[in-house]
Amino acid sequence: MSILVRNLPKTFTKENLDDLFFEFGTIASCDMVMDDATGLSKGFGFVEMSTQDETDNAIKALNAKVIDGKKIRVKWSNQEKKQAAAEELAPAAPRDIPENVWGNAASTNDKHKSEPE
């Protein structure tokens, strides 16, 4: 249940990120990506919540929130995996195929074969 948080202010710290997600449940881990040269944030980090419900609630509440004049982006860190899993679990949509879908095509081809050249 890992969350990617982007477009954070450069002055943001791990503690700020932890405080931001605290109200949504138990935080399993929280990491800010820091610039070694400046010691400032690179503007993104990762948070892992303990349950999927906590993760979903945090993403809904925090995505597009404005912090220090910047609109942050909050989403699943493995978005493609989540979408693929959801598609696997979703039942296939029923298809309405007419009974004679090939009937007319087959009889048309048969007529052309039997005609003398």
pLDDT digits (tens, 9 = 90+) for 82-97: 665 666 677 767 777 7
Residue spans of the domains in the chain: they are 2-78
| Model pTM score | 0.65
Token pair 């944030």: residue:
41
pLDDT digits (tens, 9 = 90+) for 10-44: 999 999 999 999 999 999 999 999 999 999 999 99
- Taking domain 2-78, whether its CATH number is 3.30.70.330 is answered by yes
Residue 62 CA: distances (Å) to CA of 1, 23, 54, 83, 99? 15, 11, 12, 20, 51
